[in-house]
Amino acid sequence: MENIALIESFSEFKDDKFIDRVTLMAILEDVFRNALKKKFGSDDNFDIIINPDKGDLEIWRNRIVVNDGEVEEPNEEISLTAARKIEPDFEVGEDVSEEVKLIDLGRRAILALRQNLISKIHEHDNTTIYKHFKDLEGEIYTAEVHHIRHKAIILLDDEGNEIILPKDRQIPSDFFRKGDNVRGIIESVELKGAKPTIIMSRSSPKFLEQLFFQEIPEVFDGLITVKKVVRIPGEKAKVAVDSYDDRIDPVGACVGMKGSRIHGIVRELGNENIDVINWTANPQLLVTRALSPARVSSVKLNEEKKTAQVYLKPEEVSKAIGRGGHNIRLAGQLTGYEIDVFREGVEEDVELTEFSDEIDAWIIEEFKKIGFDTARSVLEQDVADLVKRTDLEEETILEVVRILKEELED
């Protein structure tokens, strides 16, 4: 087997997408030197000349000519008689360079050499891919749907890299077919074994933040800062923005005329309802703004417990809580305060936890999940609506209503 025949089998690597010529030559030389060490004990006196573009490889063994019978290190010394078979005018003490054919290494060594080369190429690829995507963590990336599985969608980018979009990182309304282009952020990159695992997310608040960077010029230019993003994927999100230039209205710039600027972001997120609010360092004002679209009458904060008592007119309460309790939950996440809603003008009300002797704790939790934690907040709702918004049976809700009414009447 001639050198050229083996090198031709390596030519598939020369156009590798992540390997430049210098790196490829270094890997090739390292692999061949390991093979020479196994065969001859040392590679110090070998010269390796590689041209990966042409598929050429030359290995030259350098030895010193010594008198016949005085050869002590066969790998480093050659007898005068043997040297003169190469060229008849060699003399003792001169250097002899003799080309080594790969076949001289033995067939097993050649097969091992090829496997070692493939392994090092893949190892280099995986390390480079890992570093490449690690630098892209938190950035928006686009890839094409290659395969749809029950728990994840497998994507391929233009370079053929596999990216995983798990079910729990998708927006509930997401529906993709093979060949569709998908946008998301690179959420995490891990090197499990030899192969990097690249996870994409469309449900992360970071994805929404990065969409603002892409779609709103003032955010991209740094004139507007996205201070915080919270979201319930596919349902509702709140984005707090700020500007250090008083001439710029950050909310107006992000939303645009009649929502023209934010429309593309909303569409990308499956019509997720996005509230954009002005950030402020004043916690009372921030809580007030965070509960938009509800109009807050007053706010009492407990900084130590990080709680906020918010007072609203009765007709504003449902707006503050929002469908499924989404609005008040996101307002709490945005501000960092646990928010309790109180109705103005309603003197008597009782916390649901006060009824724990008569109502099971898990039933109380079901009401609290959708923002109703007092007797009157439950009684003001339509029973049919409560059935839809909780996991409770109508019979159970009617019994709760009866208990609450009796208490308030008494």
How do residues 156-174 score in pLDDT, each as one tens digit?
Answer: 998 888 999 999 999 999 9
Q: What is the pLDDT of residue 13?
A: 52
- The mean pLDDT of 83-110, rounded to a whole number, is 78
Confidence of residue 408 (pLDDT cuts 50, 70, 90): confident
Question: Residue 394 in contact with residue 387, Cβ under 8 Å?
Answer: yes
* Residue 356 pLDDT exceeds 50: yes
Higher pLDDT, residue 48 or 383: 383
Rounded Cα–Cα distance for residues 366 and 371 (Å): 9
Q: What is the pLDDT of residue 190?
A: 87
386 sits in the region (left: phi over 0; alpha: psi -120 to 50; else beta) called alpha
pLDDT tens sequence across 213-269: 999 999 999 999 999 999 999 999 999 999 988 889 999 999 988 888 999 999 999
Q: What is the pLDDT of residue 345?
A: 65
Higher pLDDT, residue 116 or 136: 136
Q: What is the pLDDT of residue 332?
A: 94
CATH number of 3-131: 3.30.1480.10
* Residue 5 pLDDT exceeds 60: no
Rounded Cα–Cα distance for residues 56 and 14 (Å): 12
Q: What is the pLDDT of residue 31?
A: 78
- The mean pLDDT of 15-35, rounded to a whole number, is 68
| 3-131 and 136-201: identical CATH topology | no
CATH topology of domain 204-279: GMP Synthetase; Chain A, domain 3 (3.30.300)
* Residue 82 pLDDT exceeds 50: yes
* Residue 338 pLDDT exceeds 50: yes
The DSSP-derived string for 211-272 is HHHHH-HHHHTTSEEEEEEEEETTTEEEEEEEES-TT--HHHHHH-GGGTTTHHHHHHTTS-
Full-model pTM: 0.63
Q: What is the pLDDT of residue 139?
A: 95
* Residue 290 pLDDT exceeds 90: yes
Rounded Cα–Cα distance for residues 308 and 283 (Å): 10
Could you give the C-alpha distances from 358 to 330, 363, 374, 402, in angstroms and in order? 31, 11, 15, 11
Rounded Cα–Cα distance for residues 319 and 1 (Å): 81
Q: What is the pLDDT of residue 156?
A: 94
Q: What is the pLDDT of residue 1?
A: 39
Q: What angle do CA 5, 8, 10 make, to 5 degrees?
A: 120
* The residue to which tokens 């934010």 are assigned: 262
Mean pLDDT of the residues in the chain: 85
* Residue 131 pLDDT exceeds 70: yes
- The mean pLDDT of 334-359, rounded to a whole number, is 83
Confidence of residue 24 (pLDDT cuts 50, 70, 90): low
CATH topology of domain 136-201: OB fold (Dihydrolipoamide Acetyltransferase, E2P) (2.40.50)
In the chain, where are the structural domains located? 3-131, 136-201, 204-279
Rounded Cα–Cα distance for residues 14 and 33 (Å): 19
Higher pLDDT, residue 125 or 176: 176
Phi and psi (nearest 5°) for 18?
Answer: -110, 0
Rounded Cα–Cα distance for residues 33 and 302 (Å): 71
The DSSP-derived string for 117-140 is HHHHHHHHHHHHHHHHHHTTBTSE
Confidence of residue 2 (pLDDT cuts 50, 70, 90): very low
Confidence of residue 350 (pLDDT cuts 50, 70, 90): confident
Q: What is the pLDDT of residue 211?
A: 96
Give Cβ neighbours of residue 400 (< 8 Å, ≥ 6 apart): 359, 363, 367, 378
Higher pLDDT, residue 76 or 252: 252
